Structure formats: C-alpha cells, structure tokens
Amino acid sequence: MANATLGDRSLFPALEGVAYLAHAAISPLSTPVCERIADVTHDYARGGMAGFVRWAPRLQRVRQELGALISASAAEIAFVANTSQGVIDVAFGIPWRKGDRLLLFDGEFPANVTPWQQASEEFGLELVWLPLAHFERSLEEGLDALERALRRGVRLVAVSAVQYKTGLRMPLAEMAALCHRYDAEIFVDAIQALGATPLDVTWGIDYLSSGSHKHLMGPEGAGILYVAERCAAAFEPRLAGWLGHKDPVAFLTGDDAQLRYDNPLKLGAPALETGTSNVIGLAALGASLELLMDLGVPAIHAHVEAYLDRLEAGLEHRGFESRRSAAPALRSTLLSVRVPEDVRLTELSAVLRERGVVCNTPDGLMRFAPHWPNSHDEVPAVLDAVDEALAGLRA
C-alpha cells in the first residue's frame, strides 16, 4: 500500500492548481484509488463474472473497515448508493405511528430534509423545525432548545454531523443523550464528517448514512448505511430488494433447485442492500480507507484545523467575515466566510479558480475545505491569490 503523509499531495500527481479546497463537494482521486479502479475493471474486462467472483468477497473487508471507522460492527453496515438513499431507507423503515413528531433543522442540506418530508406525508407525521442558529450562537443554547422540543414529544431527530454551509460540527454525543432521555432516536447524515472529523456511533447514534465522494475521498456512487443493532428488530425494511432476504443467493449456487420467495428478510441495515452493489466504487473506497485509517482521522482533523486557523486569520485581515464556530469543539474541517460587500461571491470564486484555488459557494458563502494532502505551506499562496483576485475585481 502507498504511504500517505499529512500535507503531501504526491499521491495526487494529476491534481491541478495551487490548492484544492473543495473536499466538501467532491474529492480528487488518489493514485491508490485510481489503481484499484483499474485493477477491478481489468479483471471484469478479462473475465466478466470472474471479476465479480474475485472482488465481491473483498468488499467484506471494506464493510469491516467502514464499521471500524465509526466503531460499529460489520453486521450493522449496509452498502448504499449514496447518502440520500440511506436517508430514504431509514425514513421509510422507521415503525412510525400516525401523529409521531419528527424534528428537523432549518438550514440543513436538502438530502436530510426531503426524504423526511416524504415520509411525513406518507405516514401522517408532524414535522418540528428547530433553527440551527441556536447552536451557532452557543452549545448551551442549542442543547436547551433541543431539550425543550424533546419534552413535548419527538419520535426521531434527524441532523447532519457537520453542517454543509457553515461547517458547524454538531454535538452528537450530547444530542443523542438528550434524545434517549426523552425516548427519541437520532439519525445522522455523516457525509461532511466521515474521513476528516471524528465520529463514533457509540455516542448513542441510532442511524447513520454517508456517501464516499467527499471526505472519504472515494468515487461517487458508493455509500454506507448504519442501523444500530438495538434498533434492528423494530426496523421495517419497506424498501427491501431480493438481496435483503436471508440466504438470497442459495438458489444460484447449489446442486438442487432451491428458489423460494418466502425467505425472511434480514434484520437491520443488511435488509436494505437491495441488489447488485457498485463493486468498482466500493473497492476503490476501500483503497482510500486504507490511507485514511493509516493516517488516523483525529490526526487528519488536527492537521486541517491548523490549516484553517492560518487561512481564517488571513481572510479576516482582508475583510472576510468568518462563520466558523468560536467553540473549538464545534469546529469541523470546513471554513465558510462571507466575502467583502464590494465584490460578488460568484465572480471572486471564478477568479480564484482561474488562479488555481478551488473552493465552493454554498448558499451565499465561500467555503474552504482542505484535507490531509493540503500542506500548510499552501496558505500564503492562497491568500496571494485572494489579494490578486480582489484587486482585479475592484479595479
């Protein structure tokens, strides 16, 4: 396996530009990931089904590594196509009762809102909205507001581990403890955290979903769904497919005819693996996981936080307004800023891209999201590019 080093992008030899700071959107693919994709496609090209036979068993190691990443067992992990699919599966798998109250946060990415709205209409649920502004102001205010809502009765709270717009890291352990105190469950959209910000389901997380193409640094079209073992027995896999049954492939491998349609469904997340998996994408994700776990997510997080400390100070000196939390415990690997009033956000972003600095512009803010390959030595070059862009636009 190739060796990864914090701040060294030599495993990304084709990556262009001065600084790639858009890992919160789509991460570039490393050499080990590209090589893994080439290996799998070569085997499929050479042997068709033989490629599947070789690589499908290796996906069990990927399942185990994903479980280890979040302190879950492999039996609690299912492969899904993306974060949204995992949200949909849980939203339509909870044993709802008409009138149950479902708490969502105003300001969440739509992937963690739309499926719950659909489930609300289907099962006659009551949506409760809580502004993220409570948590943006302080941890205490946010938890107080959440507890007040829970006291009135809530069946489930759905929240992102890290907010896509501001980078606010939600206090999942404290939120989960409150949810369970009031007999509620908690679902976590983890795509802006996994791979760069520590996350552990033993904090009390009941359900979790994530895709692989952001901080996990894998390709698109591969994801993870976690359903806690304690929730599995009550879970209702309404969207199960043929692979959701126990012993689903027995009729394809034995000497005698064994086809039947009455095999019971598996319990929990495995029941939601509906059909053929994205073998290529999951195998490639495995290559990226090897790098991430070798470096260690806490070390990655500390490296990126130090990068953002320098970048944030430089941007504020130039008139940008940071939306980063003042509380270190609520910080992630995302830094979002409001640009100076005399320049347009989209124009500034475009000029920075021309100068080799790639970032994103979610909902009126400029977002910088480095990862482990980003060197702290990039920061002066990024700020130089900002100076040049501002000067050009103001002229």
Q: Is residue 300 part of a domain?
A: yes
Q: Are residues 200 and 177 in the same domain?
A: yes
Q: Are residues 244 and 372 in the same domain?
A: no
Q: Which of the listed residues 292, 315, 349 is the one where a domain comes to its end?
A: 292
pLDDT of residue 12: 98
User: What's the angle, vertex CA 14, arms to CA 31 and CA 7, rounded to 5?
Assistant: 70
Q: What is the mean pLDDT of residues 274-286?
A: 92
Residue 322 belongs to a domain with what CATH number?
Answer: 3.90.1150.10
Q: Are residues 243 and 362 in the same domain?
A: no
Q: Which of the listed residues 272, 292, 312 is the one where a domain comes to its end?
A: 292
Q: Are residues 278 and 172 in the same domain?
A: yes
- Check: CB of residue 69 under 8 Å from CB of residue 128: no
Q: Are residues 236 and 121 in the same domain?
A: yes
Radius of gyration of the chain (CA): 22
Reduced to 3 states (helix: H, G, I; strand: E, B; else coil), residue 166 is coil
Q: What is the mean pLDDT of residues 188-206?
A: 98
User: What's the angle, vertex CA 256, arms to CA 252 and CA 261, rounded to 5?
Assistant: 60
Q: Is residue 1 part of a domain?
A: no
pLDDT confidence band for 273 (50 / 70 / 90): confident
Q: Is residue 11 part of a domain?
A: no
Domain ranges, residue 158: 34-292
Q: Which of the listed residues 292, 311, 346 is the one where a domain comes to its end?
A: 292
Q: Are residues 204 and 248 in the same domain?
A: yes
Residue at 308: amino acid letter: L
Q: Are residues 92 and 78 in the same domain?
A: yes
Q: Is residue 5 part of a domain?
A: no
- Check: CB of residue 384 under 8 Å from CB of residue 43: no
Q: Is residue 344 part of a domain?
A: yes
Q: Where are the alpha helices (DSSP H) in the chain?
A: 31-47, 49-55, 59-70, 83-91, 114-123, 133-137, 139-151, 172-181, 229-232, 279-295, 297-317, 345-354, 378-394
Q: What is the mean pLDDT of residues 118-143?
A: 97
Q: How many domains does the chain have?
A: 2
* Separation in Å, CA 117 to CA 100, 128, 165, 263, 337: 13, 11, 21, 32, 30
* pLDDT at position 1 over 80: no
Nearest to 226 by CA among 258, 268, 278: 268
Residue 53 belongs to a domain with what CATH number?
Answer: 3.40.640.10
Q: Is residue 8 part of a domain?
A: no
Average pLDDT, the chain: 95
Q: Which one is predicted more confidently, 273 or 391?
A: 391
Of the CA atoms within 13 Å of residue 328, those in its CB half-sphere come to: 6
* pLDDT at position 229 over 90: yes
Q: Go through the chain and tell me how many residues it has.
A: 395
Q: Are residues 360 and 253 in the same domain?
A: no
Q: Are residues 118 and 262 in the same domain?
A: yes
What angle do the packed helices 59-70 and 279-295 form, to 10 degrees?
A: 40
pLDDT of residue 370: 98
* Other Cβ atoms closer than 10 A to 204: 18
Q: What is the mean pLDDT of residues 271-287?
A: 90
* pLDDT at position 116 over 70: yes
Q: What is the mean pLDDT of residues 203-218?
A: 98
**How many angstroms separate the CA atoms of 277 and 168, rounded?**
33
* pLDDT at position 64 over 70: yes
Residue at 286: amino acid letter: G
Q: Are residues 102 and 249 in the same domain?
A: yes
pLDDT of residue 250: 76
Residue 347 CA to chain centroid, in angstroms? 28
Q: Is residue 241 part of a domain?
A: yes
Q: Are residues 333 and 351 in the same domain?
A: yes
Enter the tokens of residue 177: 């403890």
pLDDT single digits (tens) 362-378: 999 999 999 999 999 99
Q: Is residue 7 part of a domain?
A: no
Q: Are residues 265 and 340 in the same domain?
A: no
Q: What is the mean pLDDT of residues 336-351?
A: 97
The rounded percent of the chain whose pLDDT value lies above 70 is 100
Burial bucket for residue 272 (CB in 10 Å: 0-12, 13-18, 19+): buried
